[in-house]
A and B are shown apart, each in its own frame.
Chain A
Amino acid sequence: MDTRTHDDTSDHAVVTRDTLTLRLTVNGKPRQYAIEPWVTLLDLLREHEHLTGTKKGCDHGQCGACTVLVDGKRINSCLALAICKDGAQVTTIEGLEAGDRLHPLQQAFMDHDALQCGYCTPGQICSAQGLINEGHARARDEVRESMSGNLCRCGCYTNITDAIMEVLEQEGAR
């Protein structure tokens, strides 16, 4: 396949079978890529950006391990074509901590033993941050329901909910 890059992210239609130019802000840093249109956001993050915290669990939107924040909203990065997100702000698990200080959700997950194998944890934490951003879930059963898109095969749901409740309560007290 021809791999010339068409630097065309203007408002005009991009019509090409070559690689396309994509601009994203990833964890606060402006980035530019030349990619094929079939590259998912998940594969872009892992293979192009080497941000391997975001996990490819099922690759079909059924497990939530690939959850990232796009413009502050949680989505399954495995079902998003990266090119569709041109211009967006993407936050992964690697982008949540501030300097050397863990994000409150990361700390709470450790404090509450909210993981065993840890494979689902980046998706759980990004999803929980999305839940907090949304502001709809407050009570424990609401948090459980709102985290149903993230599977944990170790079965740490009780502790995951404890961790999120603690951060929600801290946020509410602030």
Chain B
Amino acid sequence: MNPFSYARPTGITEAVREGATRHARFLAGGTNLVDLMKENVEQPERLIDINRLPLKKIEDLEGGGLRLGALATNSETAYDPRVARHYPLLSAAILSGASPQLRNAATNGGNLNQRTRCYYFYDRATACNKREPGSGCGALGGVNRIHAILGASDQCIATHPSDMCVALAALDAQVRITGPAGDRVIPLTDYHRLPDDKPWLDNRLRPGELVTAIDLPPEDFSEHYTYLKLRDRLSYAFALVSVAVALRLDGKRISEARIALGGVAHKPWRSPVAESGLAGEQVSREVFANAANALLDGAVGHGDNDFKIELARRAIIRALEQAANGTPQSLFDKRIS
């Protein structure tokens, strides 16, 4: 790890001022940033320890909904009784990710800002446009089992590794940001970006900006939801494909459908066409298969990850069935029902 200087502000204004200095990085739980610093992938000259900022609360919003403080840990969020009751999709997604130790340290803001797990990004001996712009992409034509099938570019085929963000995307969460130019709010679905020709930019955060909270809208999908995560081992592994589904049903008729995919793109993947195609339809396997095809429209494999297209298609259908039946995927019994 390279030497760096350290600051521990207790006020948000002070933190933002510190964060805007060159080569400074905010440090929260550290579960990703410290690891990347050990690999010299991240080499900040100054760390702004934001753990003492007053952003730890989970609060009810006026008019319904919940505000998740950026510094509330993943564990605190997943087990918050309001989250567990009204947003079980979010609890399930969080508890599908990492390990209890990591979730006790990792924060909500940090989860949004974690970086890809692409092996080439981590390995400084290889080319990576995200780590070193212009150096090329080792994953294209390389080992790419874990890589993107949707929205990738000829510069980068990395995926965003979060489970939590997949659920947040399906729930239409809003990201609250403060920074040198003031406060703003971005829909979670717009927060992360596709790699295009600037893969070093994971999201739309500007220099010095800080995520302060994530707002969950009041809509409650606790009757018909699932988070189905498929991976190389049953626990403690990143998703090859994951599917977050939230449905509203009127008998057997779908009135609203939300579907977000993880493990397949540079950001949680939603398809307005697939979702509007489900609205008004009766629950059936055929209708779900059509939605899967719409979601995977334009999917491209890169060799090792070709299997993900068919895996995702089947996972989407299965997840829609689980949600429609009110039988969400168990976090403990991993047999897929």
A: number of interface residues (CB 8 Å): 42
**Contacts A13-B9, A37-B47; A64 near B101 (Cβ below 8 A):** yes
In the complex, which residues of chain A have a beta carbon less than 8 angstroms from the beta carbon of B37? Answer: 38
B105 near A79: Cβ-Cβ < 8 Å: yes
Which A residues are in CB contact (< 8 Å) with B104? Answer: 73-75, 130
List residues 38-84 of chain A with CB under 8 A from any CB of chain B. 38, 40, 59-61, 64, 67, 73-76, 79-81, 83-84
Q: Which residues of A contact B49 (CB under 8 A)?
A: 81, 83-84
Which residues, 13 to 39 on A, are CB-close (under 8 Å) to B? 13-17, 20, 36-38
B80 → A minimal CB distance (Å):
13
A146 (CB) vs chain B CBs: closest residue = B100
| B31 interface residue per 8 A CB criterion | yes
Q: How many residues of B contact A (CB 8 A)?
A: 38
* B98 contacts partner chain A, Cβ-Cβ < 8 Å: yes
Smallest CB separation, A144 vs chain B (Å): 8
With CB as the reference atom, state the residue of chain A lying closest to B331.
Answer: A145
B52 / chain A contacts, CB cutoff of 8 Å: 11
Question: Bound state CA distance, A122 and B8, in angstroms?
Answer: 31
Q: For residue B31, which residue of chain A has the nearest CB?
A: A79
Q: How far is the CB of B123 from chain A (nearest CB, A)?
A: 13
Chain B CB within 8 A of A98 CB: no
Contact for B6 among A20, A148, A150, CB less than 8 A:
A20
- Within the complex, the shortest CB–CB distance from B6 to chain A, in Å, comes to 4
Contacts A81-B30, A142-B332 given; does A17 touch B38 at CB 8 Å: no
* B contact residues vs A (CB 8 Å cutoff): 1-10, 14, 18, 27, 30-31, 34-35, 37-38, 47, 49, 51-52, 75, 79, 98-102, 104-105, 234-236, 331-333
